[in-house]
Amino acid sequence: MKRHKKNILMVLCLLMQLGVLAQIPEVPNRQEGEGPWPQLIIRGVILINSTGSPPLGPVDIVVENNRITDVRMVGTTGLPVDPAKRPQLKPGGKELDATGMYLLPGFVDSHAHIGGNNGTDASYVYKLWMAHGVTTIREPSAGNGLAWTLEQKKRSERNTITAPRIKAYTRFGMGSKQPIATAKQARDWVRQNAKNGADGIKFFGAAPEIMQAAAEENKRLGLKSAIHHAQTDVGRWNAMHSAKAGISSLEHWYGLPEAMFTDRTIQDYSLAYNYTNEQDRFSEAGTLWKQAAAPFSDRWSKVMDELIALDFTLSPTFNIYEANRDLMRARRAEWHEEYTMPKLWDFYAPSWNAHGSYWHSWGTEQEVQWRENFRLWMAFINEYKNRGGRVTVGTDSGFIYELFGFAYPREMELLREAGFHPLEVIKAATLNGAELLGMEKEIGSVEIGKLADFVIVEENPLMDFKVLYGTGAIRLVENNQVTRVGGVKYTIKDGIVYDAKDLLAQVKKMVEEEKAKTGYQIIQPGIAPHKH
């Protein structure tokens, strides 16, 4: 998604080209987490893997020098663990007793903006992600500048900061001294982007010859790519064009309905539509899927099958559009009070200027349209998965009332709503994301030889993804007592064990301190602040 304000669009684009962006507060050196150790043994977990296997355990998982060296079954249901079966701890090693807990591969967020222009700093964002088990992100657009993002990537690789590992994608044309207007300029820019150290490119659209040249050159160099088909160019370059050109993934869903139009070539825009009025843009986008071919029709199936044959990945980011079908739910999410920064809350409010703050007059009619849009969209995504297509979990949080970290389990819930089995959701969140990034030999599943990235939770997330929220899930227990269960217990990245709840407590304190500076209160839009 775009990360700038519309009334200064041209200025910010120029600043991005020059690499001149607002100063981001320095991320402090890591003080959280224990380890790494020469050997780490996680004892007694139930393993929920991404390989298609049902849960199994108890198992002991052995890590040495940040690589999994053993995944050993040490017992069966109903019988005590046999000590003779357990791997032995070596001198200098560490045991983590996770008896009865559930362990999953570290989560991959395939669409994760680090922050900046929406009033958040990186340390706040990183800790929210890590508190929710996100150990790897793909940063589309390098919104804080490529040099800055690459420095964060290096610091994360060295584990000198508390942060997920980072894949840095630049926005197409970023850093160019002049607008890219020819195929040659496109190829030259792509080659320079690779030399600069980028992991890939995020496209929004351009003239077809420019898109073709850039996508082909990028793939030839072995880099990955993503595309958000902006309405300004989707009429001449849709999802099918992107897949055929070798682009790796589709962000959101723009470009998919357009590839399945049968009785039109352009979205049925109202004649008063203006793209810079985001209420127009987002409300009318809510009618797009019903303009496309019907589910399971010949055209619908043909497009799907061809995209799958081209190994085209879909990163739907359902959650970032969920406010469109239920604005009140998104505004009233319980984590906003304690975990949403004041500047971020202000950024969400209705505005002519801030991207994604298009609640100028958002009501029943828009929400009903978007619920139908979701139904048709979800049907495509679920069948795409059923036919062997790759779907990932991406959040695009920091916009539209979706908070970093908390948006991740919500995206998992929405894939479940679309029809995914919970184990298919886990695969989308882990192994599929790793494959999209070209990292499937390193992360994405719990297998010998892979890196030590894990999520450990005390409750079974397959039964209720809500236990992955930092705020947990509500349970009524004996004596009519209402309690909370869940929240990630440990996030392990590169063999370093992080107390996920401590990370979340740190975020809560950050927000409290920021509010205390001005006496800030979170107030719902259009309501006057309470006077004491």
What span, in angstroms and rounded, lies between the C-alpha atoms of 458 and 480?
Answer: 22
Helices and strands per DSSP (H, E), number in the chain: 17, 17
CA 257 – CA 259 distance, rounded (Å): 5
Contact 248, 225 (CB under 8 A): yes
Torsion-angle region of residue 519: left (phi > 0), alpha (psi -120 to 50) or beta?
left
Indicate the pTM of the whole model: 0.94
Asked if residue 10 has pLDDT above 70, the reply is no
Instruction: At 447, list the tokens.
Output: 């297998």
Q: For residue 77, what pLDDT band results from cuts at 50, 70 and 90?
A: confident
Alpha-carbon gap, residue 80 to 95, rounded angstroms: 19
Give Rg (Cα) of the chain.
23
| Residue 249 to residue 108: CA distance in whole angstroms | 15
Quick one: pLDDT band at residue 198, thresholds 50, 70, 90?
very high
Q: What is the pLDDT of residue 528?
A: 82
- Those residues with Cβ within 8 angstroms of residue 264's Cβ, 6 or more apart along the chain or in another chain: 291
Our CA angle for 415, 99, 53, nearest 5°, is 40
Token couple for 20:
């001149």
Q: Which segment of 68-82, 332-346, 381-395, 482-496 scores lowest on mean pLDDT?
A: 68-82
Q: What is the pLDDT of residue 240?
A: 98
Would you state the pLDDT for residue 296?
A: 98
Facing residues of 104 across strands? 455
* Residue 120: per-residue pLDDT: 87
| 353 in Cβ contact with 447 (< 8 Å) | no
Predicted confidence at residue 23, as pLDDT, reads 63
Tell me if 125 sits within 8 A of 115, measured CB to CB.
yes
Q: Which of 285-289, 447-451, 528-532 has the lowest mean pLDDT?
A: 528-532
Considering the chain, what is the average pLDDT of its residues?
94
Q: Which residues contact 455 (CB under 8 A, 6 or more apart)?
A: 103, 104, 105, 106, 107, 133, 135, 488, 490, 491, 492
Structure tokens at 38: 């020469």
Confidence of residue 100 (pLDDT cuts 50, 70, 90): very high
Nearest-angstrom CA–CA distance, 475 and 485: 7
Q: Edge-to-edge, what's the strand order for the sheet holding 249-251?
A: 107-109, 134-141, 165-171, 200-203, 224-227, 249-251, 313-315
Provide mean pLDDT across the span 210-215.
98
232-266 residue pLDDT tens = 999 999 999 999 999 999 999 999 999 999 999 99
What does 313-339 look like in DSSP terms, one character per residue?
A: EEE--GGGGGGGT-HHHHHT-TTHHHH
Let me know if 11 is exposed, middle or buried by CB neighbors in 10 A (0-12, 13-18, 19+).
exposed
Mutual angle of helices 183-195 and 208-220, in 10-degree steps: 30
Q: Rounded distance, CA 110 to CA 26, Å?
A: 24
Q: Which has more confidence, 186 or 13?
A: 186
Residue 530 in this model has a pLDDT that exceeds 90: no
pLDDT for residue 428 is more than 80: yes
The yes-or-no verdict on residue 423 having pLDDT over 70 is yes
- The three-state secondary structure class of 468 is helix
**Contact yes or no for 141/169 (Cβ under 8 A):** yes
What separation in angstroms does the CA of 273 have from each of 258, 289, 400?
18, 18, 21
| pLDDT of residue 386 exceeding 90 | yes
Tell whether the model's pLDDT for residue 12 goes beyond 60.
no
Q: What is the pLDDT of residues 484-508, one digit of tens each?
A: 999 999 999 999 999 999 999 999 9
